[in-house]
């Protein structure tokens, strides 16, 4: 092997590519296959050689160079574990009013009278990463990260090094999955960064990144040296309840030896929770660890169970976020990007500035009017002032969302920004329809930007989620014209396999791994496919609603092809699905009746095995698969609860009566729907008869 100093530029370039490939293969052998092929010393010497070459030829450095990785090589290779009870996230409240609405929604769902309140716990929202710890017969059997909420990473060995996490507990239910947050205190974070700096390692941007980076080390001896802490605040799979209420359950976790946050309070009203919020907020700076809000949870566990969950968030809890953090910086440029639905989205490029521990260099500018200083209702914002390149602006950032511009502090000398009339990518006309804030590129699938954004969406986490096929790879493959539409992904191996293996930075193993990941996704649940298609207005939860309603691909596709906008049975049925409005219905019909879009879908579907979406567990449910309509005034449970219960039992809840309706539940003062059901011979039940019918089935 040549000495680094003797390499010419071409040799150096080849050598870097070779090392990146070798190290990628070594990572897979070590972490995925648990079968190391090279020794640690060889691995380190590759890493050092890589660094030495990069130092001589900085311009040759690869984007995914091993030297970019923080600390020890963070290699991807944790085992995956499926959560028995999904790990949900939380809905957000930003204002007191949002909190009052949350309480109102809950009382309405539960039909609780105004003079009777619901009690809530209020506790800090820890800014770390969530972790689930499974104990069987008192012994810690595994620790899993949240992952995508369904499947997480097995970090058991690392979690065992955290002193707040007991390896054994006694007096607990036989099966107990404790959930909580791994975090790092401010003092530990500062000490860690000082050590990192001293050793020439990259410093962490904030305690949350430090905690995440430390927990996700493949070498648990590194985690052991990182000062991580853990607060328990929830539970997942459990063989018997810890207690009847949230507060008592948490106290019991405390009794079992877990750290419990000492600012948790039981509050009897929204006024009281807001008072506790203010108190926690006033202590924020001296707590010694980062929090980003206060979480409220319905205290009574029976009520929690009745409230249940939406697709990703429980109805019984909410996170009340602290106000956004602000900073002042300069607008260096305004770029107009084209999204997957063709929307022209202006983005401000900012002089990088730190806001709440995160370096920000972009802010969304929403649309043409927003730049001009007009809101969606035509009212002035920022006192009607426009935004120009060269302006000094105040930006704010709430939670993880992209920062926004609040105000122009000082006008620069740039000209008024001219919003483009043509797509900046494909030069098709940008059309802004009457009453719409957003201008859209009219190029459709012929616009490269739309195509690539659709592909990025297709492979994203909640859609096809293909390991190793992220934004960067999609960009690269589409630049090479290897992937132009989703079906091409599934033809990549066949059409471009050998060429890919010959590319810089790809080793034999990483290529095989990618193809395996792609093949794994040939079998896909219907809801993920529907979401992945990137149809306008169809988000993750609507995709699930559609999948549940139609069940399998053939029924769904047949219905879409049969539907004409604003007329006919298929259109009416689509519109009658609870949660699908007219705008979304029209977008669906447009999409499936657009020949190019339909052809792309046909080519894709041919490569897939689409899994029908099973209704939720409905053993013994008398209404599974039945179409149910509620009408009139329900007096025993709220309309929302009736609907949620019916859906949990596998029924499809529809808003209108047709020959396909199986059951009409008629509350007081039922009118035209009842008459129609009678005339069609649809079975009708009183509210009490409905409750009797479902009583005793799994969910009630």
Measured from the CB atom, the residue of 88 and 327 that comes closer to ligand IVH is 88
CA 75 to chain centre: 23
Query: Nearer to ligand IVH by C-beta: 181 or 368?
Result: 181
125 is catalytic: yes
In the complex, what is the shortest distance from the CB of residue 323 to ligand IVH, in angstroms, rounded to a whole number? 17
3-class secondary-structure state, position 85:
coil
**Within 10 A of 683 (CB to CB), how many other CB atoms are there?**
13
Q: Three-state secondary structure along 269-320?
A: CHHHHHHHHHHHHHHHHHCCCCEEEEEEEECEHHHHHHHCECCCCECCEEEE
256 or 653: CB nearest ligand IVH: 256
Q: Rounded to the nearest whole angstrom, what is the least distance from the CB of residue 314 to ligand IVH in the complex? A: 5
Residue with tokens 């009416």: 572
Which residue from 224, 229, 216 is spatially nearest to 181, judged by alpha carbons? Answer: 229
Q: Decide whether 146 or 451 has the Cβ nearer to ligand IVH.
A: 146
Contact partners, residue 217, CB within 8 Å, separation at least 6: 71, 72, 74, 158, 223, 226
CA–CA distance, 207 with 213 (Å, rounded to integer) = 10
Distance separating alpha carbons of residues 442 and 498, to the nearest angstrom: 37
Contact 363, 394 (CB under 8 A): no
Pairing verdict, β 317-321 and 92-93: parallel
Cα distance between residue 12 and residue 663, in whole Å:
73
Q: Which residues are at the interface with ligand IVH (CB under 6 A)?
A: 88-90, 123, 125-126, 130, 146, 181, 233-234, 295, 314, 317, 319
The enclosing H or E element of 192 equals helix 186-198
Angle of helix 508-520 relative to helix 492-501, nearest 10 degrees, comes to 160
* CB nearer to ligand IVH: pick between 402 and 689: 402
Q: C-beta of 131: minimal distance to ligand IVH in Å?
A: 8
Query: How far, in Å, CA of 139 to CA of 172, rounded?
Result: 10
| Residue position matching structure tokens 């260099």 | 361
Question: What string of DSSP letters covers 344-412?
Answer: EEEEEEEEEEEETTEEEEEEE--SHHHHHTB-TTS-BSGGG----TT-EEEEEE-TTSPPEEEEEEE--
Min dist CB 300 to ligand IVH, Å, is 15
Q: Three-class SS of residue 516? A: helix
3 state DSSP class of 134: strand
Strand partners, 321: 293
The residue with tokens 């979304």 is 584
Long-range contacts of 594-597 (CB under 8 A, 24+ apart): 594/444, 596/444, 596/445, 597/444, 597/445
In whole angstroms, the minimum distance from the beta carbon of 181 to ligand IVH comes to 5
- CA nearest 246: which of 261, 271, 226, 266? 266
- What whole-number distance in Å separates Cα of residue 57 and Cα of residue 290? 41
Smallest separation (angstroms) from ligand IVH to the CB of 126: 4
**Cβ closest to ligand IVH, residue 143 vs residue 653:** 143
Query: What does the alpha-carbon distance between residue 398 and residue 95 come to, in Å, rounded to a whole number?
Result: 12
The CB-nearest residue to ligand IVH is 130
Least distance CB 94 / ligand IVH (angstroms): 13
Tokens 């820890």, located at residue: 126
CA distances from 149 to 61, 89, 153, 178, 522 (A): 35, 8, 11, 15, 21
Q: Which of 61, 125, 279, 297 is catalytic?
A: 125
Nearer CB in complex with ligand IVH: 15/290: 290
The CA–CA distances, whole Å, from 139 to 79, 134, 168, 262, 276 equal 20, 8, 5, 26, 36
Closer to ligand IVH by Cβ: residue 297 or 454: 297
Shortest Cβ distance from residue 398 to ligand IVH (Å)? Answer: 13
Residue 395 CB, shortest distance to ligand IVH, in Å, is 23
CB closer to ligand IVH, 88 vs 431: 88
β-bridge pairing 392-397 and 523-525: unpaired
- Smallest distance, Å, CB 697 to ligand IVH? 25
* Residue nearer to ligand IVH on the CB measure, 90 or 423: 90
- Extended strands (E) in 186-257: 229-238
Question: What distance in Å separates the CA atoms of residue 408 and residue 415, rounded to the nearest whole number?
Answer: 15
Based on CB atoms, which residue is closest to ligand IVH, 317 or 544? Answer: 317
CB nearer ligand IVH, residue 278 or residue 495: 278
CB of 543 to ligand IVH, least distance (A): 21
> CB of residue 635 vs ligand IVH: minimum separation in angstroms?
31
Which amino acids are annotated catalytic?
A: 125
């Amino acid at each position: 092997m040549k000495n680094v100093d003797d390499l010419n530029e071409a040799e150096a370039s080849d050598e870097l590519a070779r090392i990146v490939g070798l190290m990628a293969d070594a990572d897979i052998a070590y972490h995925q296959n648990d079968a190391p092929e090279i020794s640690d010393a060889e691995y380190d010497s590759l890493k050092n050689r890589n660094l030495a070459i990069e130092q001589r030829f900085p311009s040759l450095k690869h984007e995914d160079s091993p030297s970019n990785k923080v600390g020890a090589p963070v290699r991807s290779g944790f085992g995956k574990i499926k959560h028995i009870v999904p790990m949900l996230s939380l809905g957000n409240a930003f204002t007191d009013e949002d909190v009052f609405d949350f309480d109102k929604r809950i009382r309405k769902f539960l039909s609780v009278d105004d003079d009777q309140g619901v009690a809530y716990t209020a506790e800090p929202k820890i800014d770390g990463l969530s972790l689930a710890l499974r104990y069987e017969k008192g012994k810690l059997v595994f620790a899993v990260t949240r992952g995508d909420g369904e499947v997480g990473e097995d970090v058991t060995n690392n979690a065992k090094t955290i002193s707040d996490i007991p390896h054994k507990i006694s007096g607990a239910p036989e099966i107990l999955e404790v959930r909580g947050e791994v975090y790092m205190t401010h003092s530990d974070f500062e000490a860690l960064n000082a050590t990192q700096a001293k050793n020439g390692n990259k410093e962490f941007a904030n305690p949350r990144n430090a905690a995440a980076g430390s927990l996700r080390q493949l070498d648990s001896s590194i985690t052991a040296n990182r000062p991580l802490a853990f607060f328990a605040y929830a539970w997942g799979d459990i063989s018997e309840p810890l207690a009847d209420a949230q507060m008592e359950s948490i106290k019991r976790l405390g009794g079992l030896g877990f750290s419990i946050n000492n600012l948790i309070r039981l509050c009897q009203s929204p006024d009281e929770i807001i008072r506790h919020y203010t108190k926690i907020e006033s202590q924020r700076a001296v707590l010694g660890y980062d929090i980003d809000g206060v979480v409220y949870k319905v205290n009574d566990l029976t009520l929690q169970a009745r409230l249940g969950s939406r697709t990703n968030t429980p109805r019984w809890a909410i996170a009340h976020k602290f106000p956004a953090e602000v900073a002042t910086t300069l607008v260096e440029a305004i770029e107009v990007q084209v999204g997957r639905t063709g929307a022209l989205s202006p983005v401000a490029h900012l002089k990088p500035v730190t806001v709440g521990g995160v370096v920000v260099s972009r802010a969304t500018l929403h649309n043409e009017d927003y730049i001009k200083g007009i809101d969606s209702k035509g009212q002035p914002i920022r006192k009607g002032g426009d935004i120009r390149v060269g302006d000094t602006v105040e930006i704010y950032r709430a939670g993880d969302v992209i920062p926004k511009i609040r105000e122009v502090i000082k006008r620069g000398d740039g000209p008024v920004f001219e919003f483009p009339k043509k797509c900046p990518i494909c030069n098709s006309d940008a059309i802004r329809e009457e009453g719409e804030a957003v201008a859209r590129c009219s190029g459709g699938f012929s616009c490269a930007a739309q195509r690539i954004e659709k592909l990025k969406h297709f492979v994203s986490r909640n859609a096809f989620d293909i390991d190793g096929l992220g934004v960067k790879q999609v960009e690269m493959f589409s630049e090479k014209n290897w992937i132009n539409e989703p079906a091409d992904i599934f033809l990549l191996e066949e059409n471009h396999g050998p060429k890919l293996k010959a590319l810089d930075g790809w080793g034999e193993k990483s290529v095989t791994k990618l193809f395996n990941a792609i093949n794994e996704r040939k079998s896909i649940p219907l809801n993920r496919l529907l979401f992945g298609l990137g149809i306008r207005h169809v988000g993750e939860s609507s995709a699930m609603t559609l999948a549940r309603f139609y069940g399998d691909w053939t029924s769904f596709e047949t219905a879409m092809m049969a539907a004409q906008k604003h007329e006919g049975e298929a259109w009416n049925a689509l519109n009658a699905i609870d949660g699908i409005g007219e705008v979304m219905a029209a977008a669906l019909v447009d999409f499936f009746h657009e020949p190019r879009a339909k052809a792309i879908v046909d080519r894709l579907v041919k490569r897939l095995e689409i899994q029908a979406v099973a209704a939720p567990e409905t053993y013994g449910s008398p209404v599974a698969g039945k179409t149910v309509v509620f009408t009139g005034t329900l007096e025993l449970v709220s309309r929302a609860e009736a609907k949620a219960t019916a859906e949990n039992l596998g029924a499809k809840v529809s808003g209108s009566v047709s020959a396909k309706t199986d059951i009409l539940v008629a509350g007081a003062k039922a009118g035209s729907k009842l008459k129609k059901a009678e005339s069609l011979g649809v079975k009708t039940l009183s509210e009490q008869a409905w409750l009797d019918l479902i009583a005793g089935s799994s969910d009630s």
